[in-house]
Amino acid sequence: MTTLTFGKAINEGLRRALADEDRVVLMGEDIGTLGGVFRVTDGLKDEFGAKRVVDTPLSEAGIVGTAVGLAYRGYRPVVEIQFDGFVYPAFDQLVAQVAKLHYRSRGTVKMPLVIRIPFGGGIGAAEHHSESPEAYFAHTAGLRVVACSNPQDAYVMIRQAIASDDPVVFFEPKRRYHQKSEVDLDASLADQPPLGVATVVVPGTDVTLVTYGGLVQTARDAAVAAAEEGVSIEVIDLRSLAPVDYSTIEASVRRTGRLVVAHEAGEQLGLGAELAASLTERCFEYLEAAPVRVTGHDIPYPPAKLERYHLPDLDRILDGVDRALGRPNSLSGDSLSGVEA
């Protein structure tokens, strides 16, 4: 085992993919000489050369369009979108073209293309630099959409995404780039959970808490805090946003009878809405309470000084757990601070 930051784990995953397969090509703004604005590709241009780690012009549509051509020719391009909010100029390429090529060609054309997108807030940046656009892509049939939450998954999942013949939108929670943990660099992909599988990261019995990306660590912290009050939270890291691994979530909800979904993106028509509706359909007779969503607010991303009021934190997630359990909470008007113990 080697201790790596989240960002370095992705770097090692990219390095391994470049070394294992000559058709892997990295493309993006400032990813070569600079090593990317978050230094995720640091050193890869020096090791593999400028023809495989390509600094591109500032044109997201052009970058993705070029990557589509490379994928047509048998390459496995990996595109970095510098910040989440910069992906919109490439939205037409991804949704109207990339997602449909395999189906349009009746399976003749494969599209082994990875779009890496640092996403979410928590770094004190403004709009276009802290956004959560995952629902746009999860809604689009023909795209795989994943979000990793820890260094080990980052190392494995980026390699799995590159090995996939499907286009993969790969979300990286930028606030976790400096989080460290042990990574097994010798891990065989054959021994790892498949790309589309959710994982139970904290077992529990009272309520199921589903989240992904940067909020997984916050959910872990919430489980520890709740345990001090005798509440057992089962935390599920969704990992794959499209397709969703409903079997893992269903099994948990049928045991706990309660569901909380947390994400940084806004509530309206977000992943939480889809999960709440689908799990209600699948587990209605097992539910003891209505599913609860804990999300960002339905506003454009706020200025940096206000993001702590926008992003779900430990207190808001625990309040959602209280709502699911029917305990005093912020909506019931009798929060814990206002009632007798």
pLDDT digits (tens, 9 = 90+) for 250-280: 999 999 999 999 999 999 999 999 999 999 9
Instruction: Give the type of residue at 190.
Output: A
List 296's β-bridge partners, or say none: 266
Q: Which range, of 54-63, 121-130, 213-222, averages the lowest pLDDT?
A: 121-130
Instruction: Round the average pLDDT of the chain to a whole number and report it.
Output: 95
Mean pLDDT, to the nearest integer, of 25-39?
Answer: 96
- Identify which has the larger pLDDT, 126 or 139: 139
Strands (E) located in the chain = 2-5, 24-28, 53-55, 76-80, 114-119, 144-147, 168-173, 180-183, 199-202, 207-211, 233-237, 240-242, 259-266, 292-296
Strands (E) located in 29-143 = 53-55, 76-80, 114-119
Whether cis (ω within 30° of 0) applies to the bond prior to 203 is: no
Predicted local confidence at residue 337, as pLDDT: 45
Q: Please, which pLDDT band fits residue 188 given cuts at 50, 70 and 90?
A: confident
* Domain residue extents for the chain: 2-183, 199-325
Predicted local confidence at residue 110, as pLDDT: 93
H/E element, 308 = helix 307-310
* pLDDT of 246 strictly over 80: yes
pTM of structure: 0.95
- Is 199-325 the same fold as 2-183? yes
Q: Which of 254, 267, 260 is nearest to 298 (CA)?
A: 267
Predicted local confidence at residue 204, as pLDDT: 98
Q: Please, which pLDDT band fits residue 335 given cuts at 50, 70 and 90?
A: low
- β-pairing, 53-55 with 292-296? unpaired
Predicted local confidence at residue 338, as pLDDT: 42
Q: Which residue numbers are catalytic?
A: 129
- Each residue's pLDDT tens digit, 107-116: 999 999 999 9
- Count, residues in the chain: 341
Q: Write the CATH number of the domain with boundaries 2-183.
A: 3.40.50.970
Predicted local confidence at residue 340, as pLDDT: 41
- Each residue's pLDDT tens digit, 77-97: 999 999 999 999 999 999 999
Mean pLDDT, to the nearest integer, of 167-176?
Answer: 97
CATH number assigned to the domain with residue range 199-325, chosen from the 4 options 3.10.105.10, 3.40.50.1820, 3.40.50.920, 1.20.1090.10: 3.40.50.920
* pLDDT of 199 strictly over 70: yes
